[in-house]
Amino acid sequence: MNTSPPVPQRRVSVPHLRVRSGGRPRLADPRQAGPPGRTEILLALAAFAVLCIAVLAAAPQLVEPDDYAYRASIVALTDGHPLTLSTDQVSALATQLTHATGPGRAALTGPGPLGSIEQWVQLPDGRWISEKDPGYPFLAAPFQLLGIIRLAPLFYGALGCLGLFFGARRWLGRYGGSIAAGLFCSSGAALLFAWRDYMPTFTDASLIAAGTGALLWALLADEAAARRRTWIGLLGFLAIEAAVFARYTNIVVLGCAVLTVLAVRWRRPASVPRGALAWWLGSAALFGAGVAAFDDLVYGGPFKSGYRPGEISFSLGAAGPNLRYLPAHLIKAMLMLVLGLAALAWIATRWVILRRAGGEGASGAGRDLAVGAALAASWFSVWGLYATYTWTAEPGLSTLQAVRFYLPAIGAISLLGAWLVVRLVTRLPGRASLAAVTSAAVVTAMFALGIWSFTGTHTFRLGSPGHARCNIGQPHCRVAGPPHGVKGAIQAPGG
């Protein structure tokens, strides 16, 4: 009998890109990709660095009334007024903001009590509050206090890249995370709204990207500890909930996240750690109750907001005009949507073909189909909602004005685009190292197009000839171009 002690088994990390006998790399199980390599991390960091450099190199500017509305809320919060202001307080704030406009930040001024404060409303008790959704001021106030407000969107953008990196890498394997982060940072729309420091658009899109990546990792990391997966998934839900607090229409993304984890629990119970569902869904339920209580306290009803009834309206009749006017803006600012749509088509076709053929490839195709369907639901829920938005169903909007409603889907699009790039580079002949070079080349090309788009859309000037200035203190003010639905809308030059 052999009594020698057993030889300990050492886990060997198998690279994600293997090479067939014919010299073509093929996909391996992403669970065998090992920890992120130095090249992967450097590629992702380089993409984020390019985003930061491009954004910070452009002089800051308040380009729409929305910027002024959020700026006033953020400054008021840092001054110790988290909810509402009296008429005297808002007048003092208006004077403070007008005098502190600074270089490159033109002030909207006009008759009325609010001066350069735009899109604020007076509540029945006589106090004033911004009509905008309340979440972003709480997210941005720490940066305002430190005097680094320009870094606020970039900080949340870093969280978005982090979530996408690990979520995509867990789904796609080596270089998947780098590509997803690179596509996210390279979009012209991402650059445009990361530049607008007082706007929540890039921040809530980044929080959704971070939450989506975290949930993707938590649902696919079967080999990880259950407690770790539970906490990562909870962080994902909290990130999406913060995005909803910043923009209430992001509730459709939270709804998709809830339905996704319920579907996974139903179809593959082992993929959801024991007890995780209670934490995740409990977080969503508590958040909903908290927002309802906040709205009831501030606006006088659990389903009320600062917008007057009818100001923000959706109609199926607006879908046709929106489909006619918006695609050109979306392609210009988010060209990677083409990659996302191509990925969805390929994922579905590949699943049908491999399912009929049978074999081990059908399992991976089924997983890709499930992930792709969840990402598509998140993407199309946002775009489908705003396809019925009546304000954008008019000719004359600029790309700067039109695309901001569609940016929350950028994380899901980046993940789908990364799937397509990974699938394409693995079909190239040659050594596996070619994948890194090809991936970097694709992201570089997307950055070139994104910076071109950003350069062409961020040169927005207030007060250009032929474009009116408005103030909420002017109750009958009208502006050029289509109605915004709120006082203070500005038609962009050339738009």
pTM: 0.85
Output 481 or 404, whichever has higher pLDDT: 404
- Mean predicted confidence (pLDDT) in 374-382: 97
Q: Give pLDDT tens digits for 301-326.
A: 888 888 887 788 899 999 999 999 89
Q: Determine the distance from the C-alpha atom of residue 315 to the mean position of all C-alpha atoms in its chain, rounded to a whole number.
A: 24
Torsion of CA 308, 314, 317, 322, to 10 degrees: 110
Neighbouring-strand partners of residue 120: 130
* Structure confidence at residue 118 as a pLDDT band (50, 70, 90): confident
**What are the pLDDT digits (tens) for 397-427?**
888 888 999 999 999 999 999 999 998 887 7
Domain ranges of the chain: 36-61+141-457
What is the rounded CA–CA span in Å between residue 261 and residue 73?
35
Q: Of residues 346 and 117, which shows the higher confidence score? A: 346
> Under 8 Å CB-to-CB from 147, ≥6 apart: which residues?
none
Between 494 and 416, the more confident residue is: 416
The C-alpha atoms of residue 441 and residue 179 are separated, in whole angstroms, by: 10
pLDDT at 108: 41
Please tell me which residue, 377 or 101, carries the higher pLDDT value. 377
Angle at 289 between CA 284 and CA 292, to 5 degrees: 125
